[in-house]
A and B are shown apart, each in its own frame.
Chain A
Amino acid sequence: MTSARYALARAAGSAAAALSRITRQGDGTTVGGRITLAIDPRALEHAAGGRDLALVTGTNGKTTTRSFLVAALETLGPVVSNAGGANLPSGLTAALARDRAPRRGVLEVDEPFVPQVIEAVHPRAVTLLNLSRDQLDRYAEVRRLAGIWRDALTGVAAPTVIANCDDPLVVWAASAAPDIVWVAAGQRWHDDTSVCPECGGVLSRTGTDWSSTCGLRRPVPSWRAEGSTVTDPQGQGHDVTLGVPGAVNVGNAALAAATASLWGVSAADALAAMTSIRTVEGRYLSTSYAGSAVRLLLAKNPAGWTEALTMVPAERQQVVVAVNARAADGRDPSWLWDVPFEQLAGRRAVATGERSRDVAVRLRYAGVDHERIDDPAAALTAAARLGPVEVLANYTAFQTYRKVVRGAETRVGRDG
């Protein structure tokens, strides 16, 4: 009965997805998954079907780390994954229902849905990247999310947790789990962890070490990311030359390699498999536009923007800052004031997106030379006329820019 219901649910979801694609409403993943789940509430569990899965979650880096881990596990054979960023239960259901052959899978999961997904798919591993303020209009408090994870990861049947020991919120969330692999993946953003998540006291830091008077402290990592080197538990250092920028991604690679090692993939093989990734669903995409080189960086929240600003090459003089405040972005762009935009001083910026006025005011107080252009394509054109451009955009503004540069590529293809 259950499997008949699931078969019907899967067929209906897949038909809805196809219809959505034909009518160009979207790629159909979300609507298909939602219909499947509506018909069979246990569809995610059935779609997972006892397969050998890893979950990846965290405020920033989910998609890139998922992509790293897929590359590492593909050294063993085919891997199912929720490419396309649909990381709610509906998207996971659709991805698993669509690709039924692979025995192994990697799923990125939106932070609050971690308990529900663990319960449905019984993963072998859960990889925790980081937690910081994001979409506060929806989630209100970061510590609450850490508590949700903590409850889900406690218990004898809990999966192995691979966790970033440089993030105190992650450590607190993970530390009740029976089986943990600690990875020193780094954390530049400390502003959500001045207060100990366990006792509410002051968290003190010395270098990379941190501790609280209640006893919560940085665990000793078995994996470490330092500079461009990942050190495995045997003490062997691996120099990694990733195709994507940023120290934060060396940390993500270390977390992915540590996770892949649970499947028996060696650190060397796992890291080698990741180096060929140069762009992940548009992130870090290098292309050209209006005759200039352009690179797209996605940043969704203060921690992400702080990392992204470090990735802008010193010689790159033109920067587009694109910000929307739709539901998926968070409705309140006050966070712009948590981002050190002062670092852009000396460059020329163009403020754009649906909240370009907020960006313009922020850049004025940051002392950054700028203009404001409502239309994203016009903003990029204006910047590209002056030379190579770095585009920094938050979630939905980034999706707009993927279309803007894809449109330019298509036109070039057609003309040439």
Chain B
Amino acid sequence: MADPVRIALVFPAVLGTYGDSGNAVVLTERLRWRGIAAEAVPVEIDQPLPQQADIYVLGGGEDSAQALAVSKLADGSLRRAADRGAPMLAVCAGFQILGETWLDGHGDVSPGLGLIDCRTDRLEGPRAVGELLVDATREGVGVLTGYENHGGRTVLGPAARPLGVVRSGVGNGAATVDGAVQGSVVATYLHGPALARNPALADHLLTQVVGSLTPVDDREAAELREERLRAARSAGRGMRRRQWRPPARDA
């Protein structure tokens, strides 16, 4: 029997404030449902990052937690995994620290891990809190739904492309897009967790490890998506009235 697919959950007690550890549960179970052996490997903050995991998952966290996570990952372990093409999903604070720079709790610019060509500073105005709807059709994963809760604004550089176009909510807070895709790294501001609400994105990551996948029963997720898409669209109408944003440039 083949070795189980190993999904490294990076520092869940530090980068898991918004339920994002669920992303590792989703990836693991979706493989098991298909008869593929898989295990989630939580990596605690005082442990070294496993070098041979198949997928790496990072979630959101508080400012002080971000700083600690960066200091632990600055040993190059995550970069080596990215360089060998291991798929990665980074959410919110996890997204920010993979960039070139991010803002720490004191508002100072801190160096990130440099896996994504982006820089994060502060959103003008209030924290972005609410339903977020992202059209990621161009990445082949359709419309993504989730909940965002962040004060950061992330501007992508030329080496990163957005995960999708914001249809409702704030996302990166720049260029009306959310997230980033660079090499094997996928990043987003979507909580929910992102992969529970968007099984297509989960399978997109899994396909890179195990190849094509058989269908599974996603009826309950489909019902949830339908409900949340409706909620985001009605919230989005209110949002557009309150706040001007540049038009989407997805032509």
Enumerate chain A interface residues (CB-CB to B < 8 A): 133, 136-137, 140-143, 190-192, 194-195, 197, 200-202, 204, 331-332, 334-338, 357-358, 360-362, 364-367, 372
Cα–Cα distance between A214 and B29 once the two chains are bound (Å): 40
A-B contacts counted at CB < 8 A amount to: 96
Choice from B19, B67, B151, B224 contacting A335 with Cβ under 8 Å: B19
B224 in contact with A334 (CB, 8 Å) = no
User: Which chain A residues lie closer than 8 Å to B13 at the CB level?
Assistant: 190-191, 194
**Could you tell me the distance in whole angstroms from the C-beta of B138 to the nearest C-beta in chain A?**
26
- One of B58-66, B74-82, B114-122, B237-245 at the interface: B58-66
Whether A358 contacts B17 in the complex (CB less than 8 A), given A140-B149, A201-B68, comes out as no
Residues of chain B at interface, number, CB under 8 A: 39
Q: Is B34's beta carbon under 8 Å from chain A? A: no
| A365 contacts B29, C-beta separation under 8 Å | yes
Complex Cα distance A332/B45, Å? 26
Query: A337-B19, A337-B196, A360-B220 are contacts. A200–B67 as well, Cβ < 8 Å?
Result: yes
- Assembled-state Cα–Cα distance A192/B67 (Å): 15
Min CB gap B89→A, angstroms: 14
How far in angstroms is the closest Cβ of chain A from B104? 10
| Complex CA–CA separation, A393 to B116 (angstroms) | 41
A338 CA to B9 CA, complexed, in Å: 13
Which of B21, B45, B223, B227 contacts A194, CB < 8 Å?
B45
Distance to closest chain B CB from A184 (angstroms): 22
A365 is contacted by which of B12, B44, B191, B196 (Cβ under 8 Å)? B196
B93 → chain A closest CB, angstroms: 11
| Complex contact B149–A137 (CB within 8 A) | yes
> Which 4 residue pairs across A and B have the least CB separation, nearest first?
A337-B22, A334-B19, A194-B13, A337-B19
Measured CB to CB, the closest approach of chain B to A246, in angstroms, equals 23
Contact A191 B193 (CB under 8 A): no
- Contacts A137-B129, A334-B147, A338-B19 given; indicate if A357 touches B68 (C-beta within 8 A): no
Inter-subunit contact B45/A202 (CB<8 Å):
yes
Which chain A residue lies CB-closest to B105? A200
A362-B196 in contact (CB<8A): yes
